[in-house]
């Protein structure tokens, strides 16, 4: 690695994807620094090990604060919406984010759609009785 001096015992984070083709990399060899033993095979990887330093720190702070986003906000020195957005991005990176569901139309939106001719009064009644927010 050009420009980096490696001190004895320093470890680097393993890449998750192949730098040539982009496929997910497999761990095929483990080694013991104490005795030099090596074990070969195909081993499962850790979902959290591929996080960059910023995401790993965000996850650590979230866990230490027991999920309190206000504490995460204070630690990061950002606004609450920014802390939530970063955490949502972390969940997306880990494949844990729930897909956003479209919100139900409000009463005013339904009435505006009827006035514009996009909905019939019967369709609007079904939506309103079905529990749309006002």
Q: Where are the domains of the chain?
A: 14-45, 53-93, 104-134
- Tens of pLDDT, residue by residue over 98-127, are 776 667 788 888 888 889 888 888 888 888
pTM over 0.85: no
- Tens of pLDDT, residue by residue over 14-44, are 777 889 999 988 888 989 989 999 999 988 8
Residue with tokens 């095929």: 28
**Helix, strand or coil, per DSSP, at residue 120:** coil
Q: Is residue 132 within 8 Å of 104, Cβ to Cβ?
A: yes
């Amino acid at each position: 690695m050009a420009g980096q001096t490696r001190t004895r015992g320093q470890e680097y984070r393993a890449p998750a994807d192949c730098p040539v083709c982009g496929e997910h990399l497999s761990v095929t060899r483990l080694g013991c620094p104490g005795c030099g033993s090596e074990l070969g095979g195909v081993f499962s990887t850790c979902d959290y090990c591929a996080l960059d330093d910023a995401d790993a720190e965000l996850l650590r702070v979230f866990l230490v604060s027991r999920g309190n986003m206000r504490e995460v906000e204070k630690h990061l020195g950002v606004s609450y919406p920014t802390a939530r957005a970063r955490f949502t991005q972390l969940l997306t990176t880990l494949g844990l984010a729930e897909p956003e569901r479209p919100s139900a139309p409000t009463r005013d939106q339904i009435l505006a759609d009827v006035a514009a001719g996009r909905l019939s009064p019967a369709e609007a009644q079904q939506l309103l009785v079905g529990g749309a927010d006002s």
